[in-house]
Amino acid sequence: MTAPAPCPDPTSSQDLAPRAVFGLGHMGGGMTASLLRAGHPVLGVDPGPVPTPGGARRVSAAEAIAEAEVLVLSLPGTAQVDELLPDLLAAPGPRLVIDASTCPPGDSRRRAEVLAAAGHLLVDAPVSGGPAGAATGSLTVFLGCPEERLAEVLAALEPLAAQVHHIGTTGAGSTAKLLNNLLCGIHLAAARALHGAAEASEVDLDRLLAALNTASGRSAVTEVNLPRWVLSDSYDSGFPVGLMTRDVGLAADLTADLGVSSPLVEAARSMWDELLRTTGPRDDFNRMVTAR
């Protein structure tokens, strides 16, 4: 039996081969801009009314898969990634699929196995850094990738990321992203008590944060989220309540499936579910801190 052809090696592409980006929302649109800035022609795919980033060419999913050998997925969830499988399996040659969507790890592994049988490589590469990081090519990537394919995947990610953390093989990146967002969700839920206690006791929150951020209770929430988006009353981080609620729920399911959940995890899930019911899915996720 003839072995399947290897996926394209982006390190050998001196003519800057085209890239395809699936999902042109806040994150995918920013990734498209970063790829264009690096000199890649970009094919954009999105069935919704979002605008096409300047310089990208809007095409169908089938056209993008036919023309580009490296595909970046920035989709709402696992169902939308699954919808691409038939077109991927019909691709004319091997494809490198970089899935930056947030999905259950088991789903990432399943898709990787299906696509590997057709000669393709799917890696899970969910990101942190928000729309600003996507637009400036400074994302943090949690990467699940076979060790032997790491060099080519790192080269493909170079225009998009300031930091790439190779967690392990396929599925490990999704696990890391969900656990990261679980911790962030717990910290934001805890910060609601911090904010409320400061108000009730008439303690200046700016001074309180300045002290806490030199001590063991600090976190990215106290160092970044509270000063930038809560105390400023801007609530414009670009990450909505709906997505954080989804991620906390997926992380709670993951820990439960692994037999390592805790009452704290379930309490966080409950608080985010309640915030979603209160605010709706589109409000900024930092509203958790001031919700009453």
Residue 120, domain CATH: 3.40.50.720
pLDDT, mean of residues 49-65? 96
Residue corresponding to tokens 């589109």? 282
User: Domain for residue 252, yes or no?
Assistant: yes
Number of neighbouring beta carbons within 10 Å of residue 250: 23
Q: What is the pLDDT of residue 292?
A: 84
Cα–Cα distance, 133 to 67 (Å, whole number) = 27
From residue 39, give the alpha-carbon distance in Å to each of 14, 18, 135, 171: 11, 9, 14, 30
pLDDT, mean of residues 235-256? 96
pLDDT surpassing 80 at residue 117: yes
Pair (102, 22) in one structural domain: yes
Residue 285, domain CATH: 1.10.1040.10
Q: What is the pLDDT of residue 15?
A: 67
Q: Which two tokens stand for residue 85?
A: 């499988």
Select from 169, 200, 220 the last residue of a domain. Answer: 169
pLDDT surpassing 90 at residue 1: no
Cα–Cα distance, 291 to 279 (Å, whole number) = 9
Diameter over CA atoms, the chain: 74
Pair (209, 75) in one structural domain: no
Q: Which two tokens stand for residue 79?
A: 């169902």
- What digits encode the pLDDT tens for the residues 252-272? 999 999 999 999 999 999 999
Number of neighbouring beta carbons within 10 Å of residue 178: 25
| pLDDT, the chain, mean | 94
Pair (20, 106) in one structural domain: yes
Q: What is the pLDDT of residue 9?
A: 46
Pair (123, 205) in one structural domain: no
pLDDT, mean of residues 93-115? 97
Pair (23, 90) in one structural domain: yes
Catalytic residue among 40, 109, 111, 177: 177
Q: Label residue 13 by pLDDT band (50, 70, 90).
A: very low
Active site residue 177: yes
pLDDT surpassing 80 at residue 12: no
Cα–Cα distance, 241 to 278 (Å, whole number) = 10
Pair (105, 203) in one structural domain: no
Cα–Cα distance, 157 to 141 (Å, whole number) = 9
The candidate with the shortest Cα–Cα distance to 116, out of 67, 160, 177, 170, is 170
The candidate with the shortest Cα–Cα distance to 158, out of 13, 5, 51, is 13
Pair (114, 203) in one structural domain: no
The answer for residues whose C-beta is within 8 angstroms of residue 106's C-beta and 6 or more apart is 171
- What digits encode the pLDDT tens for the residues 18-46? 999 999 999 999 999 999 999 999 999 99
List strand residue ranges (DSSP E) for 49-194, in order.
57-58, 70-73, 96-99, 121-124, 127-128, 139-144, 161-168
Q: Label residue 3 by pLDDT band (50, 70, 90).
A: very low
What is the span of the domain harbouring residue 275? Answer: 175-289
- What digits encode the pLDDT tens for the residues 70-84? 999 999 999 999 999
pLDDT, mean of residues 96-114? 97
Q: Which two tokens stand for residue 101?
A: 């969507």
Identity of the residue numbered 211: A
Pair (125, 14) in one structural domain: yes
- What digits encode the pLDDT tens for the residues 160-191? 999 999 999 999 999 999 999 999 999 999 99
Pair (157, 47) in one structural domain: yes
Select from 169, 191, 215 the last residue of a domain. Answer: 169
Pair (149, 271) in one structural domain: no
Q: What is the pLDDT of residue 4?
A: 41
Residue corresponding to tokens 């990610």? 157
Cα–Cα distance, 26 to 135 (Å, whole number) = 9
User: Domain for residue 4, yes or no?
Assistant: no
Q: How many domains does the chain have?
A: 2
Cα–Cα distance, 119 to 56 (Å, whole number) = 27
